[in-house]
Amino acid sequence: PQQDRPGDPKQRQREAYRAPDPAGGPLTTDQGVVVDHTDDALAAGERGPTLLEDFHFREKITRFDHERIPERVVHARGAGAYGWFEPYHSCAEFTKAAFLQDPSVRTPVFVRFSTVQGPRGSADTVRDVRGFATKFYTSEGNYDLVGNNFPVFFIQDGIKFPDFVHAVKPEPHNDIPTGASAHDTFWDFVSLQPETLHAVFWLMSDRAIPRSYRMMQGFGVHTFRFVDARGRGTFVKFHWKPKLGVHSLVWDEAQEIQGRDPDYNRRDLWDMIEAGHHPEWELGVQLVPEEDEHAFDFDLLDATKIIPEELVPVRPIGRMVLDRNPDNFFAETEQIAFHTANVVPGIDFTNDPLLQARNFSYLDTQLIRLGGPNFAQIPVNQPVVPVRNHQRDGYHQGRLHTGANYGKNSLGGGCPGIADATDPRAYSHLQERVDGRKIRKRSLSFEDFYSQPALFWHSMADWEKRHMVEAFRFELGKVNSVRVRGRTVDQLALVDHELAAAVAEGIGVPLPEQPEGTPGPVPSPALSIESLKGPGT
């Protein structure tokens, strides 16, 4: 109820939309006509046919027939909650974003966690990436940080996203599988596109089976930009760190839980919030001055790379607490629409080609998923600040616009004032110099696919390495094509020969030859192939 949170503008706004208590009066049709009886349809005689003129019957069935909307094309299954964010201190040195200035101001948020591959009704504890999407309802409009629980992505350019998702989703002829990514199309894609390897290493690690959404890290993945009041940019990577620490399930547990409780992660989030154990995350940033853009041996615009924390430490800047479950799953968790292009003054994009594609894709998909252009009027999507513009009409228009519906009018109404570029409230894009030839070619600076997977592999403890070898064996062991198995193992050998050998042995493909000049650090002598051997497939 509202009185719980008098100061929370999002909560006040939601109250206005709460449906009236149906117990407060008799049942009515959508037109408000009172209905006396809803258990029998109107019929011609006690045992006769149902009559078309029974408007209550027809309305009731029609409304039921239209209850479903398309599920998200990816991240279909999820769970969400409301909460708040507060900065620890002002970040004015780097960004003018209002919600990052004042530690006494709490900004309402909605967070949706999700699996990526499975449909809406699939199980929670599958081996998969998890979405971690946050909508900040700030005093300058909505800011969406649409991240994942891995810091890297599978592809470098969004133009490959349809190919990647087609390969990840169930196979087109039989819609199998719907669980983990154990099938030919996925591994075919991986073996032909080595840029996937770093994310695939995360996918084969224990990070891909989180024990709880409350115990999961989140990452913005891309390099974004902060912009300060003077217009100076700073590259930034975002990190959410869970207060409870990072915890995973082991594979056997995950499989058993899938059978016993497919809602394991969703139920945990809901129950813990209901019980008052409010999950908390710290927001951290890695900051890189504009002049250091080319200081690394990878490209900051490449979403398959991390910035190692040894090079650029993560600075904590604030915390987020989730303390309220939604009132209605469909209205809120299902209808929320996140979009990477929802930014506020002080936060800007980079030319990361994956991010640029996302900035097109989310709004586009939501136009069909949420039935037209007015979905920002759905309560969960509404900003807590006024919306004034000349956008009009369209499916599901809920506002009674009056006055002129075009810019620069002298007749009054519509949207009176237009802020100019000098207005500090107005969003202004960072003035980045751009020039070049139009070419369809990825920069050579995106080309090293093996060093960072090697870094990841060598950062693992022995038992973590063992889990990864078991995961590779289990997943690749399900692949029918011997060529795909072999090609994938060849790719693994370019990351670490010992790993590739352990996997090859478990899935019955020839041991790859040690490639010359294999990149990555030399494996620890304590770790022999013997110690990597798991139970096999």
Query: Phi and psi of 99, rounded to 5°?
Result: -75, -5
Scanning residues 38 to 77, which ones bind ligand HEM (CB under 6 A)? 72-75
Task: Give the residue with the Cβ less far from ligand HEM, 74 or 493.
Answer: 74
The correct pick among 136, 251, 338, 446 for binding ligand HEM (CB under 6 A) is 338
Of 176-184, 264-272, 331-339, 383-391: span binding ligand HEM (CB under 6 A): 331-339
Helix %, strand %, coil % of the chain (to 5)? 30, 15, 55
* Helix extents (H) in 195-329: 197-203, 251-260, 264-274
Task: Give the residue with the Cβ less far from ligand HEM, 5 or 266.
Answer: 266
The correct pick among 106, 358, 465, 497 for binding ligand HEM (CB under 6 A) is 358
- CB of 97 within 8 A of CB of 148? no
- CB of 491 within 8 A of CB of 191? yes
Q: What span, in angstroms and rounded, lies between the C-alpha atoms of 266 and 80?
A: 8
Scanning residues 406 to 445, which ones bind ligand HEM (CB under 6 A)? none
Scanning residues 256 to 315, which ones bind ligand HEM (CB under 6 A)? 303
Cβ neighbour number for residue 406 with a 10 Å cutoff: 10
For residue 435, the minimal CB distance to ligand HEM (Å) is 25
Q: What span, in angstroms and rounded, lies between the C-alpha atoms of 115 and 77?
A: 6
User: 306: part of which helix (H) or strand (E)?
Assistant: none
Scanning residues 221 to 240, which ones bind ligand HEM (CB under 6 A)? 221-222
DSSP label at 210? B
How many alpha carbons lie under 13 Å from residue 172 in its C-beta half-sphere?
5
Q: Among the options 37, 66, 142, 148, which is catalytic? A: 148
Task: Give the residue with the Cβ less far from ligand HEM, 94 or 362.
Answer: 362
Question: Is 148 assigned a catalytic role?
Answer: yes
221: left (phi over 0), alpha (psi -120 to 50) or beta: left
The correct pick among 138, 191, 193, 366 for binding ligand HEM (CB under 6 A) is 366
Q: Using a CB cutoff of 8 Å and minimum separation of 24, what contacts does 426-433 make?
A: 426/345, 427/343, 427/344, 427/345, 428/231, 428/345, 429/348, 430/225, 430/227, 430/231, 430/233, 430/348, 431/231, 432/233
Instruction: With CB under 6 A as the rule, give the number of residues binding ligand HEM.
Output: 29
Of 87-95, 353-361, 397-405, 429-437: span binding ligand HEM (CB under 6 A): 353-361
Task: Give the residue with the Cβ less far from ligand HEM, 41 or 246.
Answer: 246
Q: Among the options 75, 183, 198, 339, which is catalytic? A: 75
Beta-bridge partners for 84: 108, 321
Binding mask 124-163 vs ligand HEM (x if CB under 6 A, - otherwise)?
Answer: -------x-x------------xxx----x----x--x--
For residue 209, the minimal CB distance to ligand HEM (Å) is 18
Task: Give the residue with the Cβ less far from ligand HEM, 10 or 112.
Answer: 112
Scanning residues 97 to 116, which ones bind ligand HEM (CB under 6 A)? 112, 114
Sign of CA dihedral 252, 306, 445, 74: positive
Cβ neighbour number for residue 182 with a 10 Å cutoff: 16
Residue among 284, 305, 283, 297 at smallest CA distance from 350: 305
Helix, strand or coil for residue 16?
Answer: coil
Binding mask 5-34 vs ligand HEM (x if CB under 6 A, - otherwise)?
Answer: ------------------------------
For residue 283, the minimal CB distance to ligand HEM (Å) is 16
Scanning residues 203 to 222, which ones bind ligand HEM (CB under 6 A)? 221-222
DSSP label at 262? T
Task: Give the residue with the Cβ less far from ligand HEM, 115 or 138.
Answer: 115
Q: Contact between 200 and ligand HEM (CB under 6 A)? A: no
For residue 389, the minimal CB distance to ligand HEM (Å) is 22
- CB of 85 within 8 A of CB of 110? no
Of 19-27, 189-197, 233-241, 365-373: span binding ligand HEM (CB under 6 A): 365-373
Of 190-198, 330-338, 383-391, 422-430: span binding ligand HEM (CB under 6 A): 330-338
Q: Residues with catalytic annotation?
A: 75, 148
Q: Residues in the site for ligand HEM, rule: CB under 6 A?
A: 72-75, 78, 112, 114, 131, 133, 146-148, 153, 158, 161, 221-222, 303, 336-338, 354, 357-358, 361-362, 365-366, 369
